[in-house]
Amino acid sequence: MCFDKKFTIKRYKSLTLEKKDEIKSFEEDPEVYDYLEAFKSWVRLFNEIESKYPNIIFYKKRLLNNPEDNESEKKINELLIHLNLI
C-alpha cells in the first residue's frame, strides 16, 4: 500500500485498476461510507435549518401578535416537522 501520497477522489478515480489496488480508498470501506453519508445528511439538515430559521422567527412573531392565526400555526408546525425540530 502506498500511504505517502495524497489523492483527491477525482485523481483516485482517474487511476488505473492496478494503481487503485496499491492505494487504500477509505471511501470504499462500507463503514466509512455509512459515516460519510450520515455526516452529509447532518450537513444538509444544518444548512436547511440555517436557511429556514428566518421563516421560523417570522411565523413565531405572527403567532405572538395573533395567537388565533391558524394558517401561521399550521405553517410553523409543518416547518418544524420538516426540519426535525419537533
Task: Please report which residue ranges of the chain form alpha helices under DSSP H.
Answer: 9-13, 17-22, 30-65, 70-82
Q: Which long-range contacts (CB under 8 A, 24 or more apart) does 78-85 make?
A: 79/52, 79/55, 80/56, 83/45, 83/48, 83/49, 83/52, 84/45, 85/49
Residue 63's pLDDT is what?
A: 94
**Which one has a higher pLDDT value, 14 or 37?**
37
Q: What band does 79 get if pLDDT is binned at 50, 70 and 90?
A: very high
Domain annotation covers residue 9:
no
For the chain, the domain total comes to 1
Residue 12's pLDDT is what?
A: 67
Domain annotation covers residue 44:
yes
* Whether pTM exceeds 0.75: no
Q: Domain limits at 54?
A: 25-82
Domain annotation covers residue 7:
no
Model pLDDT for residues 22-75, shown as the tens digit of each residue: 666 676 678 888 998 999 999 999 999 999 999 999 999 999 999 999 999 999
